[in-house]
């Protein structure tokens, strides 16, 4: 689940950064949140469903 949310956030960041040429801090915050979620996903492992 965290991986899917992270992918969505990265896609939104890429769309905002490249497609619409928006350079606000909100887009970079989305990227940071996505990276944190990916790290949490790998730290938790596959123990939970």
Task: Quote the domain boundaries for residue 6.
Answer: 2-44
pTM above 0.75, yes or no: no
CA nearest neighbour of 31 among 9, 4, 1: 9
Give exposure, 22-39, as e/b (b: 16+ Cβ within 10 Å): eeeeebeebbeebeebbe
The alpha carbon of residue 10 and the mean position of all alpha carbons in its chain are separated, in whole angstroms, by 4
Does residue 49 lie in a domain region?
no
- Classify residue 19: in a domain, yes or no: yes
Evaluate whether residue 9 is within a structural domain.
yes
In terms of Cα–Cα distance, which of 22, 5, 44 is closest to 34? Answer: 5
Is residue 49's pLDDT more than 70? no
Q: For the chain, how many structural domains are there in total? A: 1
Structural domain contains residue 39:
yes
Reported as a single tens digit per residue, the pLDDT across 9-40 is 778 777 777 777 666 677 677 778 888 888 88
């Amino acid at each position: 689940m965290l991986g899917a949310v992270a992918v969505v956030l990265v896609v939104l960041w890429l769309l905002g950064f490249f497609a619409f040429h928006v350079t606000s801090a909100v887009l970079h915050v989305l990227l940071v949140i996505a990276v944190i979620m990916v790290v949490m996903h790998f730290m938790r492992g596959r123990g939970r469903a």
